[in-house]
A and B are shown apart, each in its own frame.
Chain A
Amino acid sequence: DQQVKQNSPSLSVQEGRISILNCDYTNSMFDYFLWYKKYPAEGPTFLISISSIKDKNEDGRFTVFLNKSAKHLSLHIVPSQPGDSAVYFCAARAYNNNDMRFGAGTRLTVKP
């Protein structure tokens, strides 16, 4: 059962514009949400996270929004840069559970 879903396999945006990556989850026990970025032939690297007591967390060009009632989160990248081209994974876990569940990923391409 896919508890974390990223329904867009790919996204293409122009350099300088906003990239919005979406993620939905089904397990209401999830309290913590993280985004990871992955380049080819490398492991995923942590990008930004948010706990369920917040609805927004910002770190430089990256902002994550959480809508608990809709079980939806999104990652905004503004402005997008060609170096942001990668696969982005959404992940979620419950408070007392080390089992982190990942979505299938969205491949972002930022065109110069």
Chain B
Amino acid sequence: NAGVTQTPKFQVLKTGQSMTLQCAQDMNHEYMSWYRQDPGMGLRLIHYSVGAGITDQGEVPNGYNVSRSTTEDFPLRLLSAAPSQTSVYFCASSYSRDPLGPLHFGNGTRLTVT
């Protein structure tokens, strides 16, 4: 049981480059989300999806795009990387119908933008 799988684990980008952070879950969860973790800021929600074909913005969406074409996958795209996007990114999923249902997190992608 893989749970939530994120790739790559590490990435270094130059300012202006683009890339996609991959996230896949095998638990048939409707809800998926992306967070970034920065020192002193905790985890901040970037984008989320309550099902295939549905996405919405979180707290810090600027500079990021998402799509949800399947239940399993929820990629996060950086169109033009900036140093301010240096962070650790976590993908998470859950059953959306259970408000106390915990989020299941991947192990993160550490991104450095130079």
A interface list, Cβ under 8 A from B? 4, 6, 9, 31-32, 34, 36, 41-46, 49, 51, 89, 91, 93, 95, 98-105
Contacts and interface: CB of A to CB of B under 8 A. Distances in A.
A101 B45 CA distance: 7
6 contacts: A44-B103, A46-B104, A51-B99, A89-B42, A100-B45, A104-B42
B58 A34 contact: no
Interface stretch (B11-19, B67-75, B77-85, B105-113): B105-113
Contacts of B104: 46
Nearest to A104: B42
Interface string B22-58: 0000000001010100001111110010100000001
A45 B105 contact: yes
Contact of A44 (B40, B59, B90): B90
Top 7 closest pairs, chain A to chain B, by CB = A43-B105, A46-B102, A102-B43, A104-B42, A102-B42, A49-B100, A43-B107
Contacts of B4: 43
Which of B40, B90, B100, B108: most chain A Cβ within 10 A? B100
A2 to B, nearest CB: 8
Contacts of A42: 107-108
A46 B3 CA distance: 14
Interface of B: 4, 31, 33, 35, 40-45, 48, 50, 58-59, 90, 92, 96, 99-100, 102-108
B42 to A, nearest CB: 4
A49 B59 contact: no
A44 B33 CA distance: 14
Contacts of A99: 45, 48, 58-59
B33 A98 contact: yes
A3 to B, nearest CB: 9
